Amino acid sequence: MNIMLNNYCNLKCSYCFANCDPKNKVDISDDNYGYIIIFFKKSAHVDLRLLGGEPTLHPNFEKWVNQGIDDPFFQRIQIFTNAIALDHTLSRSIVDNKLSFLINLNGPDVIGEHLYNKTIDNVENLVFEYRRRNIEPQVTLGINIFEPNFKYKYIIEQSKRLKLKTIRYSITVPSDNNQKGSLEHYESFVPGLVDFLDDCHRNRISPHIDCNNPPKCIFSNEQLVNFIYSGFDLIHKGRCSPVMDIRPDLSVARCFVFEDYLRVNIKDFNTVQDVNDYFLREIDSKRYSSPPFKQCSGCRFWDEKKCIGGCLGYSIRGRSSACYTR
């Protein structure tokens, strides 16, 4: 379960559905954050996962991270960030062996050379701070793949240079209604995705699929065999489970995709597990009730429930154009 510290960001990426109107910026309050911490402890939920928006912009970010580090209850703390505001002073203050970072690294063609270079400087300082303390850097770079001819060389080069062993990747789904969640949308990414995965393998970097695992049928048998031998997890990764995001007002959705479909308030539940079970009943149980694409009918992967058909939003009626990535 993630805590959404705010709903605004210092970037405005074209593929992101979480962009906020500047007039509607919201930070989570001290009281609501404190309520969540108590809720986690009552639930024996020992992971503290902070995101946004852009979590580093919250005025209490540094204080709350250090409180989590000092609190023996929390075993792991994960930060989801673009690292633009993660300067060296902040890194020095919070780096700890309990703390890990998933950094969304957009290329210079997406955010411009200035912001890209600033991000790289901050990531370098973060990695240095881990190693200065004799801690293996708990840092993973991530790429959101939002167009078929995507550029990815930069993230492999930076991962190699910083000696980071994994890359997180995710294919975004259209944030408009033009493609209606077509299988053809997935297919258009195959050539670039195969090249990216092969380059990761050649450079001894492990690529890990995030949400929106693509349907297996878009790949050839030869490509699937190569993925298996290379150990890529998009082959064997199972169905996704709720990745719940608590908003600043304490409302929670199964994941960002379903924010406008179904939200509840954590005050109406006793534990994190109760919320998780609720979404499993109300959303996940419908996963195979309706094929996401017409091509799924009669497909052995779908019939044997070995394929999840891409984003779960495609399998739920009325959500075919609402499945994006952060």
99 phi/psi in degrees, rounded to 5: -105, 135
* 3-state SS assignment for residue 171: strand
| Radius of gyration from C-alpha coordinates of the chain | 20
pTM for the full predicted model: 0.91
Model pLDDT, residue 326: 43
What CATH number was assigned to the domain covering residues 2-314? 3.20.20.70
Model pLDDT, residue 293: 86
- Report residue 4 as tokens: 């959404």
Residues with Cβ within 8 Å of 112's Cβ and at least 6 positions away in sequence, in order, are none
Model pLDDT, residue 324: 38
Bridge-based pairing state of the strands 251-253 and 76-81: unpaired
**Cβ–Cβ under 8 Å, residues 223 and 197:** no
Answer whether the bond into residue 53 is a cis peptide, omega within 30°: yes
What averages of pLDDT result for each successive group of 10 residues across the chain (326 residues)?
A: 94 69 85 98 98 96 98 98 96 98 96 96 98 97 93 98 96 58 86 96 94 88 89 77 94 88 96 97 87 86 84 66 40
